[in-house]
Amino acid sequence: MAKMGSSSREAAAIVVVLGFVLSLAVVCNGGKTSSFVRKVEKSGVMPLDSDVFKVPPGYNAPQQVHITQGDQLGKAMIVSWVTVEEPGSNTVLYWSAYSKKQKSEGKVTTYKFYNYTSGYIHHTTIRNLKFNTKYYYVVGIGHTERQFWFITPPEVGPDVPYTFGLIGDLGQSFDSNKTLTHYELNPQKGQAVLFVGDLCYADTHPNHDNVWWDTWGRFTERSVAYQPWIWTAGNHEIDFAPELGETKPFKPYTHRYHVPYKASGSTAPFWYSIKRASAYIIVLSSYSAYGKYTPQYFWLEQELRKVNRSETPWLIVLMHAPWYNSYNYHYMEGETMRVMYEPWFVKYKVDVVFAGHVHAYERSERMSNVAYNIVNGICIPVKDQSAPVYITIGDGGNLEGLATNMTEPQPAYSAYREASFGHATFDIKNRTHAYYGWHRNQDGYAVTADSMWFLNRYYNPDNEFASAQHY
């Protein structure tokens, strides 16, 4: 007894070890469904007169300013903005501390949707930028000028650290505003956002009232005018409305949000790729044809061959509809694309796939389900260290509310799931390590509610251990 009394440190160690064993057991039993009590009520769309929707003052002032990468390597930026009174100038004036002021000229476009007429939408690509440099830029030349800035990414290379933010299904509710604020104040400091689709949800308003595209552009400007958001098309971007005489899919989205698809040999703005720092990012379209012989299929087949992991160790794929989703919402909607492309993802050792669509959070184990051939019955996902981790991050805060209804029991492939709003960051340290963290809106800015050290699949194909301390 005296011995036990004197060895409280040993006892504590045993408790710690036991705790570790227990937590491992939880992981092995097919993941964790968080019991976190989040706010389930919808918070509602922010009213049209909200502070975040304010029109900037001044005659023909540029509004809805947004930027995205403009080439494959990160030496170009597409700058977009809207003017309302008249077209005004397409010129972007830009400079860095090391260069004189330069000008780049773009184009202006407009579109009509039912009885809505857009403002003058400007897109100007700035090229030949220096890597890793802060640039200031001005739009609205000749009328009301507005100045912003951005920082170009470091030169593409295998050990270049870079932090991506991850946001999906953002919408424009009060929750959306919380998500964006949490992303901005996250000390992890995302340098660019990988956006997994469903931007403004204008199509949920009568006549798809496109005024909500404009409000969303003004709401998100505070982030996307200063760092590029990499766009993925979601179902709320389709805007297919034959009852309104609108039969050209993606009309508002393609007029407002340009992407550098031609730079990656793509023939449509819905699937494309970019390199950024040490990452190769492939954007796919859940809402464009992806079956065999389609343009997207041929493109992806070539694209995966092009990825050089010595140059860009991290292979990240974005899409809207998740392939692995254990919620009772949009259940199996990603299945047909999974059947087409999953063998490639395993073959090419994709590190991680981010999707949205389901308004909740979920992270999978590394597993694949590629053995099934209709007749052999082998249709259960199996652990597979060559497979990606699948993350659903469709919890941006849109007006449709949270997806709370989950399939039971939790499938073994699902490592963690929780119906809370939030965002994530993917923090690449070097060619072997990246720290991933999911942040829920109810927590402090620095808190990760789910996290994981990613070991690169090409350089370090050993087992990973989720480091999450869930509470």
Q: Which is nearer to ligand NAG, 145 or 464 (CB)?
A: 464
In sequence order, what DSSP letters do the residues of 378-415 get, joined into one string? Answer: --S-EE-TTSPEEEEE--S--TT-----B-SSPPTTEE
Does position 143 bind ligand NAG by CB under 6 A?
no
- For residue 118, give Cα distances in angstroms to 235, 257, 470: 21, 13, 46
Which one of 198, 342, 362, 427 is in contact with Fe ion (CB under 5 A)?
198
Does position 46 bind ligand NAG by CB under 6 A?
yes
Task: Please count the other Cβ atoms lying within 10 Å of the Cβ belonging to residue 334.
Answer: 23
Q: Is 423 a catalytic residue?
A: no
CA 81/CA 159 separation, integer angstroms: 34
The 220-239 site mask, x for binding Fe ion (CB under 5 A), equals --------------xx----
User: Using CB under 5 A, which residues numbered 344 to 363 contact Fe ion?
Assistant: 357
Give the shortest CB-105-to-ligand NAG separation in angstroms.
Answer: 31
Which 3 state secondary structure label does DSSP give 179? helix
Task: Please count the other Cβ atoms lying within 10 Å of the Cβ belonging to residue 189.
Answer: 13
One-letter amino acid at 373 equals: N
Q: Which is nearer to ligand NAG, 29 or 308 (CB)?
A: 308
Q: Which of 66, 182, 320, 330 is catalytic?
A: 330
CA 425/CA 438 separation, integer angstroms: 7
The 49-88 site mask, x for binding Fe ion (CB under 5 A), equals ----------------------------------------
The 223-262 site mask, x for binding ligand NAG (CB under 6 A), equals ----------------------------------------
Does position 163 bind ligand NAG by CB under 6 A?
no
CA-based radius of gyration for the chain: 23
368 binds, among Fe ion, ligand NAG, none (CB under 5 to 8 A by kind): none
Nearby residues of 161 by Cβ (< 8 Å), 6 or more positions away: 277, 278, 427, 428, 429, 430
In sequence order, what DSSP letters do the residues of 275-310 get, joined into one string? Answer: EETTEEEEE--TTS--STTSHHHHHHHHHHHH--TT
User: Using CB under 6 A, which residues numbered 398 to 417 contact ligand NAG?
Assistant: 405
Per CB under 6 A, which region of 30-38, 189-197, 377-385, 426-434 contacts ligand NAG?
Answer: 426-434
Give the shortest CB-18-to-ligand NAG separation in angstroms.
Answer: 27
Question: Which residue from 72, 70, 61 is spatially nearest to 104, judged by alpha carbons?
Answer: 70
Give the shortest CB-403-to-Fe ion separation in angstroms.
Answer: 11
Contact 397, 364 (CB under 8 A): no
Pairing of strands 382-383, 314-318: unpaired
308 binds, among ligand NAG, Fe ion, none (CB under 5 to 8 A by kind): ligand NAG
Q: Which residues pair with 438 in a beta bridge?
A: 424, 450
Contact 444, 422 (CB under 8 A): no
Which one of 95, 174, 226, 240 is in contact with ligand NAG (CB under 6 A)?
174
Give the shortest CB-332-to-ligand NAG separation in angstroms.
Answer: 11
Mind telling me the catalytic residues? 330
| Contact residues: ligand NAG, CB under 6 A | 46, 50-52, 115-116, 174, 177, 181, 207, 308, 310-311, 328, 405, 429-430, 432-433
| Contact residues: Fe ion, CB under 5 A | 198, 234-235, 357
